[in-house]
Amino acid sequence: MRLLLVEDEPFIALDLELLLNSVGHEVVGVADTHDAALEMANETAPEAALVDINLRDGFTGLKVGRALSGEMGCVVAFVTGNAEQVPGDFAGAVAVLEKPFTAQGVEEVAALLQEMRAGAARPPSLRYARLPPRR
């Protein structure tokens, strides 16, 4: 699966990229601001994205998540240390992976994104992540 990472901490982005590549996903790019994320998404057409909420340009990750999921058809999960900042509607995301994350947590969220991209329904629970209420 082609993934975009939206993360302003270089070491966290690198860790995520290595973990995702090791389980067969392709990271198409890493962006650290709202504008860079949307520009990169337009250029690379990712299938899914992992998006931090607080980016280099402020609290813009929620806007990125909404744009990627709503306008670009991307399946989105937030990766954040501030999960309580995610609104009740999840801003278009399907899950929140809380920092500090584990390799297993990243793999499980990536698998969920891939399954949902393929049209599967969201599972009832996912370890390491908080999921939005079912609609």
* HEC assignment per residue over the chain: CEEEEECCCHHHHHHHHHHHHHCCCEEEEEECCHHHHHHHHHHHCCCEEEECCCECCECCHHHHHHHHHHHCCCEEEEEECCHHHCCCCHHHCCEEEECCCCHHHHHHHHHHHHHHHCCCCCCCCCCCEECCCCC
pLDDT greater than 50 at residue 48: yes
pLDDT at res. 122: 62
pLDDT greater than 80 at residue 103: yes
Domain boundaries, the chain: 2-130
pLDDT above 90 coverage of the chain, percent: 62
Superfamily holding 2-130: Response regulator (3.40.50.2300)
pLDDT at res. 60: 96
pLDDT at res. 11: 95
Q: What is the pLDDT of the chain when averaged over all its residues?
A: 88
